[in-house]
Amino acid sequence: MNTEVEELLRDGMERFTAQVHAPAGLAGGAGRLRRQHWRRLAARAAVACGAAAAIAAGVTVAATGGSGAAQAQTVAYVTKRVENALATEKLVFVGRSDGKMGDYVTWAYGPRSRWEEFSGSKPYWAQGTALIGGKLVGAYVTYFDRRYSLSPLGPQETSACSATDALSMGAPVIPTTHWTAFIDATLACGAASVSGHVWIDGMETTKITGKPITVRLSAGYSKVVKEKFATARWAVYVNPTTYLPVRMDGSTETFGGSAGGFTSSFVTNVRWLLPTRANIAQALVTIPPGFHRFYGPAGDQ
Amino acid sequence: MAQDRAAGELERFLADRADRLMRTAVLLTGSREAGQDLLQTALERLLRHWRRFDGDPEGYLRRTLYNLAADGYRRHGRLQRKLLLLRAAAPPPADPIAEVDLRDALVRLLLQLPPRQRAVLVLRYWEQLSEAETAAVLGWPEGTVKSAASRGLQRLRELADGWRNTEPQLNGERA
């Protein structure tokens, strides 16, 4: 017997359950179950008397509800598992994207994020969140002309289910920092599926592939790029233990016009770092002194 | 009145023992929500007999929890299959975010074992029951318990060795 493994397992189980307490409503829940039990018995008795179709229907509905609750419980199981994995340490997301259109670095931690493009070793422009007067706001900085804009913090995407969200997956901006919920919702709505396992840096990752999406470009944008349609494709490779991404790739292809078609593609390799003060600080856009604020929607120059 | 008294007894019993039972259920299922669901199901079974029940309710609940878990309590189709797909069959990989120590890793690995092996290991190393007592709780022959425990531990050892041999990559650059 390997007593070390047994001891570690015993300690681990103690730790795993140290903060677990029965919910306050358990006894009440037991009471409800007891009453449901008596209602079921009453319903059975009524059906046996041939006089209680309505009650029987009620019982059927209750049974169906149980199945839905079971499914919801399974969803919670999937989500909670990752939350548990991260409960002790929230980690800092660092993604480095190499793409046809440039190189980008993304840092994210909780609601904070910084997505930056470089020109050589110098930052060219950045977008994400900044801390202004102790408050987190959306920020957009163009280093090349020393300007910035601020905006209210927008919501993060919760899935890639809508056409707009799926389209954004074809670009190297990360859509969320709540990866578990994002992946779970995207799989559940059928916008992506588990498509296999891929080895990345010695790890057998689970590949999740998004359903390609094609949209007609808006008239204005179409005129600028001289194309009519865009198709986005994407895949995320997740750690099978934590379900956190270790790599993402995607592409956006424009076609159907006189420009002859163009595809921008990217690969983002992800690392997860400890939430040290320095690492967390990286997940904020900083506005250098002397930069001028401009007003308008983020990205509007 | 008799019903109220019986319910009162049950509530007192739960107030006293529910935390411990809940921890067992969480270990068997891997999450708080699933553990709560499992415990509620076991409680419902107890309640069916509560008014006539004159045995040890904790023992009954424990047996029910373990048997439900060992029978593959997680019975839900599509999402469960998805979950299994996401948990690749491979041993735990070089996990760049794994800052947790081996104890935590072992518990996560425990949750990947088949339900029967997991139930036996929780009984043996969490409840600290002997093989004979474990067999009595599960209603299995002692030999079955012995082999399930042995296979479960062996699997954990293999996974733990894989874990140990993994170079931590946290904060490191990718190759």
pLDDT digits (tens, 9 = 90+) for A245-287: 899 998 888 888 887 888 888 889 998 888 888 888 999 999 9
- Least confident piece of the model among A16-25, A72-81, B16-25: A72-81
Chain B partners of A22 at a C-beta cutoff of 8 Å? 14, 18-19, 21-22, 36, 39
How close, in Å, is residue A200 to chain B by CA atoms? Answer: 10
CA B105 distance to own-chain centroid: 15
A53 with A173, same domain: the answer is: no
A202 with A102, same domain: the answer is: yes
What pLDDT shows up at residue B46?
Answer: 78
Closest chain B residue by Cα to residue A80: B31
- pTM, entire model: 0.46
In a domain, A21, yes or no: no
Distance CA A249, CA A169 (A): 9
In a domain, A152, yes or no: no
Is ipTM over 0.85? no
In a domain, A5, yes or no: no
Q: How many CB atoms lie within 10 A of CB A289?
A: 5
A33 with A108, same domain: the answer is: no
Q: Is the pLDDT of residue A235 over 90?
A: yes
Strands A147-151 and A292-293: parallel
Higher pLDDT, A4 or A32: A4
In a domain, A299, yes or no: no
Rg (CA), chain B: 19
Nearest by CB to residue A274, choosing from B75, B99, B111, is B99
Most A CBs within 10 Å, among B4, B13, B107, to test the A interface: B107
Parts of chain B belonging to CATH 1.10.1740:
1-80
Q: What is the mean pLDDT of residues A97-105?
A: 72
A100 with A161, same domain: the answer is: yes
A204 with A244, same domain: the answer is: yes
How close, in Å, is residue B114 to chain A by CA atoms? Answer: 16
Chain B partners of A6 at a C-beta cutoff of 8 Å? 125, 153
In a domain, A191, yes or no: yes
Total of domains in chain A: 2
CATH number corresponding to B87-175: 1.10.10.10
Residue B105: name the closest of B121, B93, B119 by CA.
B93
- Least confident piece of the model among A17-31, A116-130, A163-177, A225-239: A17-31
Q: Is the pLDDT of residue A41 over 50?
A: no
Q: Confidence band (pLDDT; 50, 70, 90) for A237?
A: very high
A55 with A195, same domain: the answer is: no
Across the interface, whether the CB atoms of A8 and B160 are under 8 A apart is answered yes
Q: What is the mean pLDDT of residues A19-37?
A: 58
Range of the domain at A31: 26-87
Q: Rounded to whole angstroms, what are the CA distances from A61 to A45, A51, A72, B44, B56?
A: 18, 18, 16, 18, 34
Q: Is the pLDDT of residue B136 over 80?
A: yes
Backbone angles phi, psi at B166, to 5 degrees: -85, 125
Which of A69, A87, A105 is the C-terminal boundary of a domain?
A: A87
A193 with A99, same domain: the answer is: yes
In a domain, A19, yes or no: no
Closest chain B residue by Cα to residue A193: B82
Nearest by CB to residue B106, choosing from A9, A33, A81, is A9
How close, in Å, is residue B72 to chain A by CA atoms? Answer: 13
A99 with A75, same domain: the answer is: no
Parts of chain B belonging to CATH 1.10.10.10:
87-175
3-state SS, one letter per residue, for A177-229 = CCHHHHHHHHHHCCCEEEEEEEEECCEEEEEEEECCEEEECCHHHHHHHCCCE
In a domain, A72, yes or no: yes
Q: Rounded to whole angstroms, what are the CA distances from A128 to A125, A137, A155, A158?
A: 11, 8, 12, 17
Is CATH 2.60.120 the classification given to domain B1-80?
A: no
Task: Give me the total of CB pairs closer than 8 Å, taking one residue from chain A and one from chain B.
Answer: 202
- Least confident piece of the model among A65-79, A92-106, A209-223: A65-79
Are A186 and A179 within 8 A, CB to CB? no
A166 with A228, same domain: the answer is: yes
Distance CA A115, CA A93 (A): 11
A76 with A164, same domain: the answer is: no
A233 with A203, same domain: the answer is: yes
A78 with A103, same domain: the answer is: no
